[in-house]
């Protein structure tokens, strides 16, 4: 039984000449054991007939928000779906999805869906390379949408170049990869930390750092999307994916108190938070006034939560750390991996353009305890999170 067996899949078909390949995708999904619900846009029906999909799928093809027996067909489709695939995803479909428009059954279903989504673009090269299309794709990737980028080959009208829809076998392979990753973390409990801690100087001021929490929140969302039960301990005022249990803290001591009991039962812990190494030994009870002169601030070390987790790590438990560095990035990260008994460390050069704190993008290197390395060039923090989630799934599986 493969990853698609007995899985509920919505197959969306948009209006492009490559829609004929969606019929073969539908057949292959059915052959793999998936329960397919086809959804065709009005434009798609100019190229392919709904009857072709109805004959191959588990249920009749749907074409409208208004013609079915249900009052909210998009709600029903989205809530039971375990994967939504769009083949082909036209430039218009990508633009509507990125902008949050829902003027037909397919786009309404996409906006309702909380399961993984795979879009398979197909269009002429000029449309694929247009800045508007590239921006829309980047937005979707940042939100966690899987994009199977088009191939380079023959296009309609005798043209050739990037924009050709991937073959049905490639679409199926990507769908199996996505659902396989989801299945691999089902039932796993994972603790994730995010944000930078604040260590009080007085009731007004604090020592802190530049961490926004964006990368940690993206990791929590990616792991939840793969079926894990995720506990997120965060200092950041950011949202989280449905199902993620969020606990908000402020200081290193509060984070330690929240993380340690959860970690005792966790299958994996991902310490993405930037936890302060030092805190003021004495916290003023009232605001320190400027006319009182420069206060003497004596610092004391905080508990090294990651090192403590490494000391307490159970057999089979996976521990992931982050190394935010400005120089000797890989050497410092490798040293952290060894000293703190980590299974994986994310080496982050925070001085690199577009990477590190506060950005929506990141560029990192994943260093594993077995000596392997995986370089992730500049991409959205959600794309980094997805890659990290893949590695965690492999480690837990092994």
Residue-wise pLDDT for 85-112, tens only, equals 999 999 999 999 999 999 999 999 999 9
Whole-angstrom Cα distance, residue 64 to residue 106?
8
- What's residue 398's pLDDT? 52
- What's residue 341's pLDDT? 97
- What's residue 183's pLDDT? 67
User: Quick one: pLDDT band at residue 28, thresholds 50, 70, 90?
Assistant: very high
User: Quick one: pLDDT band at residue 312, thresholds 50, 70, 90?
Assistant: very high
**Average pLDDT score over residue span 207-231:** 92
pLDDT tens by residue, 357-387? 888 899 999 999 999 999 998 888 888 998 8
Give the pairing of strands 278-280 and 299-301.
antiparallel
- What's residue 194's pLDDT? 98
What is the b/e burial string over 317-333, where b = at least 16 CB atoms within 10 angstroms of the residue's CB? bbbbbbbbbeeebeebb
Q: Would you give the DSSP letter of residue 4? A: T
Whole-angstrom Cα distance, residue 172 to residue 152?
19
User: Quick one: pLDDT band at residue 394, thresholds 50, 70, 90?
Assistant: confident
- What's residue 140's pLDDT? 92
Q: Which domains does the chain show, CATH number per domain?
A: 8-183 (3.40.50.1950), 189-397 (3.40.50.10300)
User: Quick one: pLDDT band at residue 18, thresholds 50, 70, 90?
Assistant: very high
Q: At residue 301, does pLDDT exceed 90?
A: yes
Q: At residue 275, does pLDDT exceed 70?
A: yes
Query: ∠219-191-283 over CA atoms, to 5°?
Result: 100
Q: Which of 136, 146, 209, 362 is catalytic?
A: 209
pLDDT tens by residue, 134-180? 999 999 988 889 999 999 888 877 777 888 999 999 999 999 888 87
Locate 278 and state its tokens: 């030092």
**Average pLDDT score over residue span 190-194:** 98
Residue 60 and residue 36 in contact, taking contact as beta carbons nearer than 8 Å: no
- What's residue 44's pLDDT? 97
- Strand extents, DSSP E, the chain: 8-13, 35-40, 83-89, 117-121, 146-147, 151-154, 160-164, 189-194, 199-200, 206-207, 229-234, 245-248, 268-271, 278-280, 299-301, 318-325, 344-349, 361-368, 373-380
User: Quick one: pLDDT band at residue 1, thresholds 50, 70, 90?
Assistant: very low
Instruction: Please give the distance of CA 17 from its chain centroid, rounded to a whole number.
Output: 31
348 is an active site residue: no
Instruction: Please give the distance of CA 257 from its chain centroid, rounded to a whole number.
Output: 27
Locate 36 and state its tokens: 């397919």
- What's residue 16's pLDDT? 93
Whole-angstrom Cα distance, residue 383 to residue 376?
9
DSSP assignment string, 181-214? HHHTTTT-EEEEEESB--EESSSS-EE-----SH
pTM over 0.75: no
């Amino acid at each position: 039984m493969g990853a698609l067996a007995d899985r509920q899949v919505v197959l969306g078909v948009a209006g492009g000449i490559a829609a004929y390949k969606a019929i073969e995708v539908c057949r292959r999904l059915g052959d793999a054991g998936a329960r397919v619900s086809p959804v065709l846009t009005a434009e798609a029906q100019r190229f392919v007939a709904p009857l072709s999909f109805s004959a191959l799928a588990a249920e009749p093809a749907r074409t409208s928000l208004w013609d079915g027996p249900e009052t909210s067909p998009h709600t029903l489709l989205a809530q039971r779906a375990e994967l939504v695939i769009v083949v082909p995803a036209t430039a218009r479909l990508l633009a509507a999805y990125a902008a949050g428009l829902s003027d037909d059954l397919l786009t309404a279903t996409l906006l309702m869906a909380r399961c993984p989504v795979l879009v398979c673009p197909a269009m002429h090269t000029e449309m694929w390379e247009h800045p508007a299309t590239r921006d829309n794709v980047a937005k979707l990737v940042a939100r966690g949408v899987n994009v199977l980028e088009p191939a380079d080959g023959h296009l309609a009208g005798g043209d050739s170049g990037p924009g050709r829809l991937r073959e049905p076998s490639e679409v199926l392979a990507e769908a199996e990869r996505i659902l396989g990753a989801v299945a691999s973390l089902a039932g796993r409990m994972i603790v994730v930390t995010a944000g930078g801690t604040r260590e009080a100087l007085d009731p007004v001021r604090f020592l802190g750092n530049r961490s926004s929490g964006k990368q940690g929140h993206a990791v929590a969302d990616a792991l939840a999307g793969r079926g894990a039960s995720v506990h997120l301990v965060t200092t950041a005022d950011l949202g989280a994916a449905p199902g993620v249990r969020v606990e908000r803290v402020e200081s290193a001591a509060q984070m330690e108190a929240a993380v340690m009991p959860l970690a005792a039962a966790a299958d994996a812990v991902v310490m993405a938070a930037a936890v302060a190494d030092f805190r003021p030994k004495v916290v003023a009870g009232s605001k320190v006034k400027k006319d009182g002169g420069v206060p003497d601030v004596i610092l004391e070390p905080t508990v090294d939560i990651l090192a403590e987790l490494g000391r307490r790590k159970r057999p089979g438990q996976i521990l992931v750390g982050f190394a935010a560095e400005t120089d000797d990035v890989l050497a410092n990260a490798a040293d952290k991996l060894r000293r703190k008994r980590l299974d994986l460390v994310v080496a982050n050069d925070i001085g690199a353009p577009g990477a590190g704190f506060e950005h929506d993008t990141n560029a990192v290197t994943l260093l594993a305890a077995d000596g392997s390395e995986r370089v992730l060039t500049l991409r959205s923090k959600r794309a980094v999170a997805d890659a990290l989630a893949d590695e965690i799934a492999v480690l837990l599986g092994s």
